[in-house]
Structure formats: C-alpha cells, structure tokens
Amino acid sequence: MISKKPLFSWVFERYIGMQALLFLMILTTIFFRVFPLEMQKRIVNSAIAFKRLDALLLYSGLFIGAMLLAGILKFLINLLQGYIAQKILLDMRARLYDHILTLPLSFFRRTPAGMVITSLTSELSVIGEFLGGAIAVPLINILTLVAFAGYLAYLNPLLAIASFAIYPIEIIIIPMLQKRFNHLNQHRIDVTRDLSNVIGEAISGMHEIHGNAGYGLERGKLLRFAGSLFSVRIRMNVYKFLIKFANNFFQSLGPFILFLLGGYLTIQGRFDIGALVAFLSAYEKLYDPWKELMDYYQDLQDSRVRYKQIMDYFDIRPEFEIAPPAERDPYALTGQIEIKEMSYSVDSQTHILDRISLDLESGSQLAVVGVSGSGKSTLAMIVGQLYSYNGGHVLMDGRELKTLTKLDVSHNIGYVAQHPFIFNGTIQENLLYAFQSTRRTSNNGDIAAMPEGEEVLRVLREVGFAEDVLKIGFDTILNPDKHSDFAQRLIEIRELFFRRCGVELAKEVDFLDRDSFQYYSSISDNLTFGYPNTAQYEAEALPRNALFREVLDDARVLKPLLALGEELATQTVFLLKDLREDPFFFEMSPISVDEFEKYSDIVARLGKGARSRLSAADGDALLGLALRFVPAQHKMAALSPALEDDLIVARHRFMEIMTSRDPAAFTFYRPTEYLYTFNILTNILFGHARADHPQAMELIRQRVAEMAREENIIDEIMALGLQFRVGSMGDKLSGGQKQKLAIARALLKNPRILIMDEATASLDNASQAHILQLLGSRMRGKCTLIAVVHRLETVKDFDLIAVMRAGGIVESGRYDELMGKKGLFYELVQGM
C-alpha cells in the first residue's frame, strides 16, 4: 500500500538512468571547480612573479574557461534535478490520489476537505522538491568539499588541518540548534493545521454563528491556536537567528586563522603568495557547499516529518478491491439478491442494522419504508457497496458482495442518492459520468459503446428531464462567433412566431416595438433601443457620453431624468438605510449595497436644500441611477405617461443620429437583427414576458416549444441545453432537476440493480408520478429495484415492502397484506 512506502523509495524506484546521468555531470563539474584554483596560484606564482605575459593570458583563459564550463554544468544539473523533482511529484500525487479516492466513505466524513487538499498540494510539492535533489545535493556538495579539502591539503597540510579544525565544532553545535528548531517547526505545523480546521469549521457553520451570535466563542477558539502559534514562532526565531549567528561567526573564524597562520608562514618564507591566494579563495568557496549541506539536512528532516504525517493520515486500507484481476472481466449479474442475517455497526457497539434478511428475485421491486433513523438509507448504501457490513451475508448471484470489486459493482448497480452530487461541468458530462467511468476502468477497453444521442434523449424524456433541458436550452445566450447560422434561422422563426402568436400573446408580452415604451427594460435600454458594440456606449459610461447627453437635452428629458434619479436615490436610501447588512434587500433596488454609501451621501447633500452644491460627478451618478431604472421592477418610482412619450422621441432621435454617424456602434432591436445579449427565447419572442402574469411565461414557453418542434430546431436547442454548465456542485440547477439528472445518469448505465434512496423526494408531484410510472412499466423486470421511500402513497405497486424500525425489518409483504395485518405499516399509512 502506498501509505507504507518509504520516502527515499520514490527516488530510486524510477528514473535510474536520469540519476546516473546526474551523477556523471556532478563528477565532471567537481573537476571544473577545483581547476580554476590551481590556475589562480599559477597566475600569481608563475605569470605575475616572472612577468610572463603569454603565461598570464594562457592561465587566465583556462581560468575563465573552466569557470564557464562549471557554470554551464551547474545550470544543466539544476534543470535535470528540477525535472526529476517534478516527475517524482507527479507520480506521488497521482498515486496518492488514487489511494485516497478508494478510502472508505467513513474516512471522508471525519476528514475536513481542506486537510486532503493541502496534503496533496502544498505539502506534497515541498517533499517533491526535496526528493528531486535528494541524491544530487548531498553528492555534489560532499564531493566538492572533499575535492577542495584535498587541494588545500596538497597546498599546505598544516594550514589545511588548522582551517578544517573549526568544522567539527560547527557540526556539533549547529545540528543541535537545528534539531530544536525542527521540533518547534513540527509543533507549528500541527498548530497551523488546527487553526485551519477552526477557521474551516467556522466558515461552514457560519449560519449557526450568525444565528447564535457566536462571534466571541469563535474568536476564542481561534485565539487559542493563534496564541500558541505566536509563542512557537517567537521561540523558532530565537533558534533560527542563533543558527545564523553561529554560522557567520564560524565562517569568519576561518579567514582569521588563515591570515594569522598563513601570513606567519609566508613571512617565514615557508609558504608562497600564490598558494595563499589560492588557499583563501578555496576556503571562501568551502562555505557554499557547507551551507547547502546544512540546508539539505534541514530539508531532509522537514520532508521526513511531513511525509510521515501525510502517509500516516492516509494509512487506511480501502474496504473493497478496485478492479478484478486482469484475466477476468467484470461480472454480469442477473440482479438476484439474497441478504442473510446481515448486520452493520460502527465502533462495534452501535448497531445501525441488525440481522437483516431479504430475498429478491431478479427483476423484482422492493420498497424500504420506516420512520427516519430506522436504517433505510444505510441498508441501501450497503447494497450499493458504499459501506461494508460487519456480520452476515449479502449475496448477489450467490457471490458475497464484500468480495466483489468496485468495478463489478459499478457495472451492475446504479445508485441514486437522496442528495445526488452533480459535478461542475455540462449537463451532458454529468449524464455520462456513471457510464463513462465503467468504460474507462474496464480491463479490455470498450465493453459498451457510448450511448447515442437518441438514447440519451430517450432516457431524458423517460425521467421527465427533457423539458428542463429544453427550457435551459431556450435560455442559452448564443455566441456570435459560433452560432451565426443558427441565429439567422431563429430570426426566421421569430417572424413566423409573431405572425402566429402575436395576437394571442399581446397581453402577456412587451414586444420590442420601437414605438412603444418598454416597461421590462431599463431607461437606458429604452433610449438606445439596442446594445452597444463599443465600450464608450456601455450603460455605465452613458451618463458621461457627450453625444448621448446632447440627445437627452434636445428631447427635454435630461432634467426629468435627473429628477427621477433624485427620487430613486431618496426613496431607496430612506427605505433600505437600516438593512445594509443583508444584500438580499438590494436585489430589487437600483442601488447596489456597494454603492449605498455614495448615494446616501448625495441624498444628504440634496437634503440640505442646495441642489447647486451637487458636483458634476453627483449629477452623473443620479443620471446613471435613472438610466438603470426598470419601471416594472423597481417599485420606488414611477414615470408619467408624458415622460414615457418623450423618452420614445429621444429614442428615435438617438437611433437616427447613431445610424448616420456611427452605424456599427449599436445593434438596434430590429426584427431583422439577432440580439446576442438576449437568450434564444427572448429572441424568438422578440419581447419580454410580463412578470405580473404568472401564467404568461408557461404559455409562452409552450408556444415557443410548439413552434420549435414544427420548425425542427428542437434537437439544436436540446443540444445547447445539454451543453449548459451546471456550476459548482450543480448549484445552477434546482433540487428537482438535480434528482432527475441523477436518475437519468444511473439509467443510462442500464444497471441490473437500481437503488434509489429517496431519489424522488425533491420532485414535484407530476415529476414524481412520471418516474413511478416509468419504474412500474418500462423498467419492471428489466432491473431489480430497491427504493427507499418516504411518501407511502407511492409504494402500492411494489412486489415487496420492507418496513424498518430501529435497524431491523419488523414486517414485510405486499401492500394489501401489510394493510391487512394492521401492524406498523398500517400505522404509518394512517398517520400520513
């Protein structure tokens, strides 16, 4: 198991060739490091002393040549070392993640996600960096030290011994300090982790904190760890700077001895100047490898600790084998299930399930009912191999469920959770998730081909999700670069649609008519009647746009609009001044929370009666506010019919001027123009549905869908809907949509056993009936169904109903039998 793998095994396991290459390069570079020293000595002793210019040039040339080669080699060594490091990191990350993914669900219930994340990201990358140099760094530095020491001994053994005498002292003192430091550092990592958990917990439980005003309590929790972090840091600093001090001191002790002893020997004539220069220079160069070795030692300790912590954390055996042996394909089960005296307990004391026995023929349908907490879901999860049982047997076609591999299970069992998880991505990607994973991990490649588009659509219709996807498809905003042909087609349909439904929908829709005021559009949209293609005409920039202002002024709407802005600001500030802490209240206001301060200041200045005191910027802000005003949405002001008429006049004037001066600046709302700022539905409708008619939207969608069907663009719209990105955890879908998606996802796999854990709980009645109908008709006999059911009115048609209480099955039978018994089931139904 990967969590038992020793740290250094990562270095030696692979990349032996690269390590050997690295070793060779290191050996070569050592030579080029020592060689310049000898050149230095010869420059002083032979060239300068005997005034030989040719020798000077030769030695200097060799000197710089060797330095250059040493530099280039070092560069290559670094590259190679970095490459190995990243390779090892990649390998570690992938393999550790593989392992983590297979850990039992119980592990993830007690483990904060952040813990797993930091382990795999920052912590692991530090270890990877270290392992990259795990061989190279000590090797290169030790060899350098030995080479320099050898050279020094060759120059003068006495001096060499004297200068090296310092090192043993250093070797004792500094690691000692270092050890203390590491110890503290370990403590710091632990405390930091605790601190992160405290913050993580507070963030996920923020509603409780707000609800209970638990600010002080949470602060206390944080301070406990932050405080000890503080004191650890201070102590760490003491050791860190002590180490620095010791290093520096010993480092200057060397030259001191050299100058004193070397100087004395030279004065005595027992040592030559050239040798002294070489000696000093070599001694200076000793520092770097020495320091690097020290750092290496520290990194080694650090990485060992980190590595051990990570591996200990994940040192848990997966509950099940992942894949069958290579020679065997995943089993094809018939769906026959036999549960014998099966028990499940946690901590070997709390019995969650107690001696459950059940017999299910292939293709039969079982409903599991009972009060909440009776173990219904746990039973479903055990049959889905999400938990492992402790006692008894669960046999599928006579094979013990525990011994089946994950792949066997996923090939045969579809599991739909009560709160299904939807992954970030498109609807299509989510639909194919279950299917794809059985394909990817199968041993001999393609066992089944990907479902065809037809197949996907059929399943979507069966679970009642097709309507949602169509609706989502109609809400797509097209991209002008990708969809211009389709947009042209939609313009044709727009015209057909208006001819057919224009009269019928006249009361439900504000059509985009250039001669009528648009209550569902902002004032600026009403004025420009189009969307800008250049930044200078963006809605936010309009108040400062000279041309635009001129048009407003000419049409005599500038002053009324400024007054409207004043009114909006005054009313909104008055209304929401106490509610600034909750952005919810600002959703229906033209002023956002962030701007509240600004407008509240303006209102204060207005209140002092001096309109003249308002700056030009204030005026722009008020005009901007008025331009944002959507009459049907913002309730705090209203327009007079006269002003509405004036605004239409201004609109015509603006369109005229823009068309003549800068026709490309705007795409106007013309019936012949596809509007890329609106979704497909609005484009076909060429107008906005009236929000005060709750049934309008439904009627419009129905009519548009009919039209789309007749004009054969349904498939395109569905395809766009399937490409909709559902957001993180699918939060752009409703609860019901997520459940339908999850059911479709499981059905696409064509499972032999389908487990539904209250899988229709968040569906509306119609959708729930739809699914039940599907299970009762087309799916009957196709797969064995185990449904945990909350709403008892839905269980009448099941072959078997198991009634659970306190982890056991108290009675089972068909609906009529159980009702006849007048037992717990009867009570539950009566109590509904």
CB of residue 571 vs another protein: minimum separation in angstroms?
Answer: 6
What is the DSSP pairing of strand 365-370 with strand 800-805? parallel
Among 579, 714, 810, 819, binds another protein (CB under 8 A): 579
Instruction: Mention every residue, 6+ apart, whose C-beta is less than 8 A from residue 537.
Output: 528, 545, 548, 665, 666
Minimum CB separation from another protein for residue 549, in Å?
18
Handedness of CA 235, 241, 244, 248 (dihedral sign): negative
* Between 579 and 665, CB nearer to another protein: 579
In contact, 506 and 499? CB cutoff 8 Å: no
Count of residues binding another protein (CB under 8 A)?
28
| Number of neighbours of residue 694 by Cβ within 10 angstroms | 8
372 is a site residue for another protein (CB under 8 A)? no
**Residue 694 found at the interface with another protein (CB under 8 A):** yes
Residues within window 289-348 making contact with another protein, judged by CB under 8 A: none
In the bound state with another protein, the residue whose beta carbon lies nearer, of 447 and 638, is 638
Short-list 647, 663, 467, 440, CA closest to 560: 647
Question: Given the rule CB under 8 A, which of 116-124, 300-308, 387-395, 685-693 is the region that contacts another protein?
Answer: 685-693
Output the smallest distance, CB 210 to another protein, in A: 10
Which of 51, 692, 712, 831 touches another protein (CB under 8 A)? 692
Residue 402 vs 577, nearer CB to another protein: 577
**Out of 27, 142, 691, 729, the residue judged to bind another protein by CB under 8 A:** 691
Q: How many Cβ atoms from other residues are within 10 Å of residue 808's Cβ?
A: 17
Q: Which is nearer to another protein, 253 or 575 (CB)?
A: 575
Distance CA 315, CA 100 (A): 9
Binds another protein (CB under 8 A): choice among 588, 604, 617, 729? 588
* Nearer to another protein (CB atom), residue 672 or residue 765: 765
- Of 133-141, 282-290, 305-313, 567-575: span binding another protein (CB under 8 A): 567-575
Return all residues near 617 (Cβ < 8 A) that are at least 6 apart. Answer: none
Residues within window 48-87 making contact with another protein, judged by CB under 8 A: none
* Tokens linked to 86: 């990243």
Task: Compare residues 341 and 793 and give the one whose CB is closer to another protein.
Answer: 793
Task: Indicate the residue among 23 and 585 with the shorter CB distance to another protein.
Answer: 585
Residue 556 lies near another protein (rule: CB under 8 A)? no
741 binds another protein, rule: CB under 8 A: no
Is residue 822 close enough to count as binding another protein by CB under 8 A? no
Span from 64-72, 79-87, 328-336, 581-589 in contact with another protein (CB under 8 A): 581-589
Which of 695, 712, 777, 831 lies at the binding interface for another protein (CB under 8 A)?
Answer: 695
Close Cβ partners of 728 (under 8 Å, ≥ 6 residues apart):
424
CB 644, min distance to another protein, A = 9
Minimum CB separation of residue 564 from another protein in Å reads: 5
- Strand-pairing partners, residue 394, are 339
- Residue among 159 and 568 whose Cβ is closer to another protein: 568
Q: Does the footprint of another protein cover residue 693 (CB under 8 A)?
A: yes
Which span sits near another protein by CB under 8 A: 140-148, 561-569, 773-781, 806-814? 561-569
Q: What angle do CA 107, 108, 109 make, to 5 degrees?
A: 95
Min CB(90)–another protein separation in Å = 47
Applying CB under 8 A, the span of 187-195, 303-311, 477-485, 687-695 interacting with another protein comes to 687-695
Residue in 321, 567, 673, 799 binding another protein, rule: CB under 8 A: 567
Cα–Cα distance for residue pair 729/710, rounded to 1 Å:
36
Name the segment binding another protein (CB under 8 A); options: 63-71, 142-150, 225-233, 565-573: 565-573
CB-based contacts of 257: which residues, under 8 Å, 6+ apart?
162, 163, 166
For 46, 377, 382, 482, 548, the CA distances from 371, given in Å and listed in that order, are 100, 11, 19, 53, 67
- Closest approach, Cβ 561 to another protein, in A, equals 10
Nearer to another protein, 50 or 584 (CB): 584
Site for another protein in 611-670 (CB under 8 A): 635-641, 643
Would you state the structure tokens that stand for residue 298, as one six-digit string? 């520290």
Instruction: Specify the stretch interacting with another protein by CB under 8 A; choose among 380-388, 411-419, 423-431, 688-696.
Output: 688-696
DSSP 478: P
Helix or strand (DSSP H, E) at 620? helix 616-628
Task: Please report how the helices 484-501 and 696-710 are oriented relative to each other, as an axis angle in degrees rounded to 10.
Answer: 120
Which residue, 327 or 582, is less far from another protein as judged by CB? 582
Minimum CB separation of residue 526 from another protein in Å reads: 15
Examine residue 797 and tell whether it contacts another protein (CB under 8 A). Answer: no
Q: Does 559 bind another protein (CB under 8 A)?
A: yes
Q: Which residue stretch of 214-222, 253-261, 405-413, 559-567 sits at the interface with another protein (rule: CB under 8 A)?
A: 559-567
Counted residue by residue, the chain has a size of 832
| Shortest distance (Å) from residue 753 CB to another protein | 30
β-pair type (784-788, 350-360):
unpaired
What is the per-residue burial (b if ≥16 Cβ within 10 Å, else e) of 445-476?
eeeeeebeeeebbebbebbbbbebbbebbbeb
Q: What's the closest the beta carbon of residue 643 comes to another protein, in angstroms?
A: 6
Of 527, 564, 774, 789, which one interacts with another protein (CB under 8 A)?
Answer: 564
- Residue 636 C-beta: closest distance to another protein, Å: 5
Smallest separation (angstroms) from another protein to the CB of 315: 43
Site membership for another protein, residue 560 (CB under 8 A) = yes
- Considering only residues 746 to 765 of the shown chain, the ones binding another protein according to CB under 8 A are 764-765
Q: Is 575 in the site for another protein (CB under 8 A)?
A: yes
Pairing of strands 365-370, 530-532: unpaired
- Measured between alpha carbons, how far is 117 from 236 in angstroms, rounded to an integer? 27
CA-nearest of 614, 518, 622 to 572 is: 622
Q: Which is nearer to another protein, 132 or 464 (CB)?
A: 464
H helix or E strand, kind and range, residue 368 = strand 365-370
Which residue in the set 298, 378, 571, 683 belongs to the binding site for another protein (CB under 8 A)? 571
> How many whole angstroms from its chain centre is CA 400?
37
Q: 38 or 566, CB closer to another protein?
A: 566
Tell me: does residue 566 bind another protein (CB under 8 A): yes
Opening angle at CA 64, ends 62 and 65, nearest 5: 60
Q: Give the DSSP per-residue string, 227-253.
A: HHHHHHHHHHHHHHHHHHHHHHHHHHH
Is residue 171 within the footprint of another protein (CB under 8 A)? no
Residue 219 or residue 580: which is nearer to another protein going by CB?
A: 580
Tell me: does residue 585 bind another protein (CB under 8 A): yes
Cβ-contact 788, 761 below 8 angstroms: no
d(CA 476, CA 719): 11
Q: Over 91-132, what HEC string results?
A: HHHHHHHHHHHCCCHHHHHHCCHHHHHHHHHHHHHHHHHHHH
Interactions with another protein, residue window 200-219 (CB under 8 A): none
Count the neighbouring beta carbons within 10 Å of the beta carbon of residue 108.
12
CA separation for the pair 131, 84 (Å, rounded): 8
Q: Residues in the site for another protein, rule: CB under 8 A? A: 559-560, 563-564, 566-567, 571, 575, 579, 582, 584-585, 588, 635-641, 643, 691-695, 764-765
